[in-house]
Amino acid sequence: MAGYTNSSMNEWKLREEMCEIGRRIYNKGFAAANDGNISLRLDENRVLCTPTRVSKGYMKPDDLCVVDMDGKQLSGQRKRSSEILLHLTIMKHRPDIRSCVHCHPPHATAFAVAHEPIPKCTMPEFEVFLGEVAITPYETPGGQKFADTVIPYIKDTDVVLLANHGTITAGTDLMDAYFKTEIIDAYCRILILTKQLGSVNFYSDAKAAELLKLKPSLGIRDVRLEKGLENCDLCGNSMFREGYTQFKPEHHAIIPPKLLGRPDGPGLVSSLLEPHGDPNASHACGCKTEAPAPAQAAPAISANDPAFETLVQRITNQVMLAMNGQAR
Ligand SMILES: [Zn+2]
């Protein structure tokens, strides 16, 4: 397979680079004690990976293990991480991916524990370099069942929050996979700090579309472009909400304005009942418009329905914003 190198000299350099990435995730506080694991595909059936129960901040090249694509250990004195199955599952479903970094960066992991979707349309760099981020349903770490939680999402993103656990980022090489971890944690940190100062402000779908259109020239894939900027709903609902799994995290801490019923959104009630907004609306970003869905009776929301609680929370948030003079 093209792009792989088998020479022992090159493999030693890659081992040193993996130890360096380990030091970075440890020194950044992304992996306490022995947490975290890193992988790099050496060829079609050999993957270099970090050992279990060793601090990623103090690894030496000889500490690393080599496993096959099913997780069977081929070499190394130390035992491979049990979470390597997560990495291998991603590599099996994404042949373009050669490296994965899994750790527990505190700011991104806070979103994963809160089941808070990562908002878009707040910072151009994040939009360009990461884009849509998925949150998987929770599963006990370690086994294949846990690894399989990423399967519905990984074809469409390189950055996944593992609910109540941490992050896994995928890349074409070690540094690419690691940088995505740095970016998602830096972004989540900025969001948490911004929320403490006041409200998080969003730019429009049209401005988001301008950023997305830059990505092909930078060689960065974005599945929303492949879908034709479907419905222009770039800043509101995540594409990972609909049709992926039954697990649909809702915005509670940072709510995109269009879900609050502001003028630039589809409206409070319609955003809840019709997540894609008005299909007849004209779109500033020039994207495709989905054919109108057949008319359906709006589902009634009872006081016992979790959707009712969400509705009340959003109305409360909007009233609070209006009282503070922040409503548009
Ligand atoms: Zn973990």
In tens, the pLDDT along 264-293 reads 443 333 333 333 334 344 444 444 434 334
CB hemisphere CA count around 2 (13 angstroms): 1
Cα of 82 vs centre of ligand 1, distance in Å, is 10
Domain chopping of the chain, boundaries = 8-197, 220-323
Torsion angle of C-alpha atoms 319, 321, 324, 325, degrees rounded to 10: -100
- Cα of 42 vs centre of ligand 1, distance in Å, is 23
**Which of the residues in the chain have pLDDT under 50?**
1-2, 263-303, 326-328
Instruction: For 8-197, give the CATH class.
Output: alpha beta
| Cα–Cα nearest to 301, from 289, 288, 287, 314 | 314
Single-letter amino acid, residue 295: A
pLDDT computed for residue 194 by the predictor: 97
CA distance 90 to 104: 18
Q: What is the pLDDT of residue 228?
A: 76
pTM flag (> 0.85): no
Spacing, Cα 73 to ligand 1 middle (Å): 20
pLDDT in the model for residue 300: 44
Q: Distance from the CA of 60 to the center of ligand 1, in angstroms?
A: 21
Cα of 2 vs centre of ligand 1, distance in Å, is 31
Beta strands 134-136; 65-67: pairing state: unpaired
Residues sharing a CB contact under 8 Å with residue 244, sequence separation 6 or more, in sequence order: 134, 152, 153
| CA 104 to centroid of ligand 1, rounded, Å | 6
Tell me how far apart the alpha carbons of residues 141 and 52 are, in angstroms, rounded to a whole number.
13
In the reported structure, the alpha carbon of residue 260 is separated from the centroid of ligand 1 by a whole-number distance in angstroms of: 34
The CA 33 to ligand 1 mean position distance, Å, reads 12
CB atoms within 10 A of CB 60: 11
Whole-angstrom distance, CA of residue 25 vs CA of residue 328: 41
Cα 141 to ligand 1 centre (Å): 7
* pLDDT reported for residue 246: 81
**What's the CA-to-centroid distance between 7 and ligand 1, angstroms?**
31
Contact status, residue 91 vs residue 47, Cβ threshold 8 Å: yes
Distance 84 CA to ligand 1 centre (A): 10
CA distances from 73 to 21, 63, 96 (A): 22, 13, 23
The pLDDT score that the predictor gives to residue 270 is: 35
Q: Please, what is the Cα angle at 93 between 96 and 100, to 5 degrees?
A: 60
* Alpha-carbon distances, residue 249 vs 3, 228, 253, 265, 278 (angstroms): 38, 24, 12, 20, 23
Distance 173 CA to ligand 1 centre (A): 20
Cα of 86 from ligand 1 centre, angstroms: 10
Phi-psi domain of 308 (left: phi exceeds 0; alpha: psi -120 through 50; beta: other)? alpha
Rounded distance from Cα 46 to ligand 1 centre (Å): 22
What is the CA(113)–ligand 1 centre distance, in A? 13
